[in-house]
Amino acid sequence: MTEYDTIKVERRDRVGLITLHRPEALNALNLRLMHEVVGAAEEFDRDDAVGAVVLTGSERAFAAGADIKEMQDLEFVDAYRADLFAEWDRFARLRKPVVAAVSGYALGGGCELAMMCDILLAADTAKFGQPEIKLGVIPGMGGSQRLTRAVGKAKAMELCLTGRMMDAEEAERAGLVSRIVPAADLLEEALKVAATIAAMSPIAVLAAKEAVGRAFESPLAEGLRYERRLFHAAFATADQKEGMAAFAEKRPPHFQGR
């Protein structure tokens, strides 16, 4: 089992759970945490015993952004040469679904990390924002792009230009989060959603995530064609035969990921 400094990693049946754990810094995303989250998530992605992943933080903060103290003396050439934060792209390329369970602050890189996940569940205490402008910079892990696609131009502009935070209600209304749950039930609910996904055909789950993801990257006609090809391909799987036979026979399906 790998040792981690900045996160906790557990398995709950077929669900992998990653908990950000830098309580002294409201889970600010330093480089160490980035390596650990990406490494742990990729390990779950490769593990056939895991069907979905939950990423969460603490009650007070999902993550209050990239680590400002670590970045403050950085020079352009260092950031550019190292392609700072590009490692997070690997998190966004995970193939299995990731559910973000957000309680408290999800700011800057924290909001951007939550938006890299596939389903975003918010506690009623959640607060989202892109306050980088107050630090003299701009979002650098996808905030200007993913937030705009999620909530539209007007609200994304306002959040990125003023640094204003939005609460869970506003985030749900704007389409950033799929649901709000009471803070005390957040993790349990996120694990339930992930367990539901993990009980489906693993092949169909990969395909569904891939197909929905396409909607953000391609014109509609291409996305529709892509979806139809994946749909057709599902008929090459044993899980499709099993799923439809189980329905006809009025019994639960037993998917095997084949």
User: Which residues form the catalytic set?
Assistant: 66, 109, 112, 132
Examine residue 118 and tell whether it contacts ligand HXC (CB under 6 A): no
Question: Site map for ligand HXC, 66-105, x if CB under 6 A?
Answer: xxxx---------------x-------------------x
Number of chain positions touching ligand HXC (CB under 6 A) = 20
Q: Which two tokens stand for residue 166?
A: 């939005």
Q: Are strands 127-129 and 105-107 parallel, antiparallel or unpaired?
A: parallel
Sheet containing strand 15-20, strands side by side: 7-12, 15-20, 52-56, 98-102, 119-123, 179-181
Examine residue 109 and tell whether it contacts ligand HXC (CB under 6 A): yes
Taking Cα atoms as reference points, which of 63, 46, 55 lies closest to residue 17?
55
Q: Which of 7, 18, 26, 120 binds ligand HXC (CB under 6 A)?
A: 26
- Rounded CA gap, 123 and 60, in Å? 11
Q: How distant, in Å, are the alpha carbons of 75, 84, 87, 109, 161 from that of 35?
A: 21, 12, 8, 14, 30
**Segment near ligand HXC (CB under 6 A); pick from 25-33, 146-154, 228-236, 237-245:** 25-33
Q: Cβ 120 to ligand HXC, closest distance in Å?
A: 17
Examine residue 230 and tell whether it contacts ligand HXC (CB under 6 A): no
Nearer to ligand HXC, 105 or 255 (CB): 105
